[in-house]
C-alpha cells in the first residue's frame, strides 16, 4: 500500500533496554528482529513474514537526562521535511530535532504538536517510495490514538498540516467525545482528551495480533502490565492497553 503525504508510515520504540524489549515484543506479537542502521547504532527492524513493521533503538542518554521515558513514536510521511518544520513552528508546535538526513533512506525531524505530543516528520527518497503494510496485517499498526488536553485544538493543528478529516464522533459519556480521524478515505485512529492520571499528551499505537486473549496472556507472562482490557469495541474488534517491561505504553488489537 503506497503511503501518501500526511499518512503514518513508520513507528519506532525508544527504550532503556533494547535487547530485552526486542525479545518481549517478538514473543508477544510474533515479530522477528534484524539489525539495521549505520555502524555504532543498535537499531533493530521488527519484521513479520519478511516485511518491516517498525523499528527499535536504545533511548539516547541525551534524551534521558531531560526526562524522556521509553515510548513509541509515529512517523508521518511528508514531501518536504524542511518546509513542514517551518509550518509546525508557525502553528505553535515544537521542534525537538531539526531536519536531519538518514543516508540512503531519507530525511526526518522530531517535532511536537502545541500540546506536547511528539511525532516524527519523514521524507523518503524520491526513488524509494514509502510502502505501508495493510492495516489488518498481523504485526502492523491497526489503529492510532492521540490523548490530548484539548482534542478539538489538536485536530485543527493536524488538519492544517496534513489535511486530515473527521470521521464519526463517539459519545464516551463521562470520558467525553472520541473523535475518529482519517488520513485518507477511511478512519485510521481517534482523538480524545486525556484523563488526569496521564501526565502529558501522547500518541498511542495498536498492533494487530491474531488472538487478543492469547496475546494478553503473553504480555503478562513476559513481564508486561495490563492497563485496561481486553475490551470489545464498536465493530467487533477487541483491544487491550498495556505497558511493556521498560514502561512504554502500547496497545494490541485483534479482529472479532
| HEC sequence for 102-124 | ECCCEEEEEEECCCCCEEEEEEE
C-alpha cell at 235: 465493530
Longest dimension (CA), the chain: 51
**Same-fold call for 8-124 versus 141-254:** yes
Structural domain boundaries in the chain:
8-124, 141-254
Question: Does residue 223 have a pLDDT over 80?
Answer: yes
- Please state which CATH number belongs to domain 8-124: 3.10.180.10
Residues 6+ apart with CB under 8 A from 256: 232, 235, 236, 237, 238
Mean pLDDT of 149-159: 97
Using DSSP's 3-state secondary structure scheme, residue 242 falls into strand
The answer to whether 62 touches 77, Cβ cutoff 8 Å, is no
Query: Cell 503478562 appears where?
Result: 220
Q: Is 16 helix (H, G, I), strand (E, B) or coil?
A: coil
The CA distances from residue 113 to 79, 194, 195, 211, 228, in Å, are 19, 15, 18, 34, 26
Write down the pLDDT at residue 136. Answer: 81
Cell numbers given for 97: 530535532
Exposure class string for 26-49: b at 16+ Cβ within 10 A, else e: bebbbbebeebeeeeeebbbbbbe
**CA of residue 225 relative to chain centroid, distance:** 19
Reported pTM: 0.93
C-alpha cell read off for 176 = 467525553
At residue 66 the predicted structure's pLDDT band, cuts being 50, 70 and 90, is: low
Q: What is the pLDDT of residues 6-31, one digit of tens each?
A: 999 999 999 999 999 999 999 999 99
In CATH, the number for domain 141-254 is: 3.10.180.10
Strand stretches in 103-211, DSSP E:
106-112, 118-124, 141-148, 165-171, 177-182, 187-193, 202-208
Is residue 24 within 8 A of residue 245, CB to CB? The reply is yes
Give residue 48's pLDDT. Answer: 93
Amino acid at each position: 500500500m503506497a503511503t501518501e503525504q500526511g499518512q503514518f508510515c513508520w513507528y519506532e520504540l525508544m527504550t532503556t533496554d533494547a535487547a530485552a524489549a526486542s525479545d518481549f515484543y517478538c514473543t508477544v506479537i510474533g515479530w522477528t528482529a534484524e539489525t539495521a542502521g549505520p555502524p555504532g547504532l543498535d537499531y533493530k527492524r521488527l519484521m513479520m513474514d519478511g516485511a518491516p513493521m517498525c523499528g527499535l533503538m536504545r533511548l539516547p542518554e541525551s534524551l534521558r537526562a531531560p526526562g524522556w521515558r521509553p515510548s513509541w513514536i509515529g512517523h508521518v510521511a511528508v514531501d518536504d521535511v524542511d518546509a513542514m518544520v517551518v509550518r509546525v513552528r508557525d502553528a505553535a508546535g515544537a521542534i525537538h530535532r531539526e531536519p536531519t538526513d538518514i543516508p540512503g533512506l531519507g530525511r526526518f525531524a522530531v517535532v511536537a504538536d502545541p500540546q506536547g505530543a511528539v511525532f516524527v516528520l519523514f521524507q523518503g527518497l524520491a526513488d524509494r517510495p514509502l510502502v505501508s503494510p495493510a492495516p489488518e496485517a498481523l504485526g502492523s499498526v491497526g489503529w492510532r490514538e492521540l490523548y490530548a488536553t484539548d482534542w478539538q485544538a489538536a485536530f485543527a493543528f493536524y488538519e492544517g498540516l496534513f489535511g486530515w478529516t473527521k470521521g464519526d464522533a463517539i459519545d464516551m459519556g463521562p470520558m467525553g467525545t472520541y473523535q475518529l480521524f482519517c488520513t485518507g478515505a477511511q478512519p485510521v485512529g481517534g482523538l480524545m482528551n486525556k484523563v488526569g492520571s496521564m501526565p502529558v499528551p501522547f500518541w498511542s499505537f495498536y498492533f494487530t495480533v491474531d488472538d487478543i486473549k492469547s496475546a494478553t496472556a503473553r504480555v503478562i507472562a513476559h513481564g508486561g502490565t495490563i492497563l485496561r482490557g481486553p475490551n470489545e469495541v464498536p465493530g467487533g474488534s477487541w483491544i487491550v492497553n498495556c505497558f511493556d517491561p521498560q514502561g512504554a505504553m502500547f496497545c494490541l488489537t485483534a479482529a472479532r
